[in-house]
Amino acid sequence: MHIVLDDTAMAAAGQGNVLASRLIHRAHSQAGWYLYAPTCALVEADRARPGTAEHLAALPGITVLDLDLPAALAVAGRDTWAAAHCQYAAQPTPDRPDGAIIATTAPDRWTGEPVRVLDLTP
């Protein structure tokens, strides 16, 4: 299971969201569960809730995704870099042929986008 945390899911995890906490626990303790934190979304989450980036980056079950050249080119033309980096990270790759699911507490943000969404709203 490959899951990309958007900025709202990251901020929710820092505020004790039970569903986000369960994802983090599974990624740390169960084989086959992977959580990704795109850098641009991590920055936005930290702006909304200072300390979030440092906290999430220290968790062993989360992989922080760099803004490499292909990702930068994908987000450059978008209005919000956080959402664009999440959407880019969720696209299929050789390692993830089915892509990844975006975990969020704002599912309406993803309406009309070509991504699968996991609603973390309690």
pLDDT single digits (tens) 86-119: 999 999 999 899 999 999 999 999 999 999 999 9
Using pLDDT thresholds of 50, 70 and 90, give the confidence band for residue 13.
very high
Over 90: is that where the pLDDT of 7 sits?
yes
Q: What is the pTM of this model?
A: 0.93
Q: How far apart are CA 49 and CA 63, in angstroms?
A: 20
What's residue 4's pLDDT? 98
What does the block give as tokens for 110? 């993803």
What's residue 77's pLDDT? 79
What's residue 102's pLDDT? 98
Identify which of 23, 50, 17, 22 has the alpha carbon closest to the alpha carbon of residue 37.
23
How far apart are the two ends of the chain, measured CA to CA in Å? 21
Q: How far apart are CA 37 and CA 9, in angstroms?
A: 10
What is the DSSP-derived secondary structure letter of residue 66?
A: P
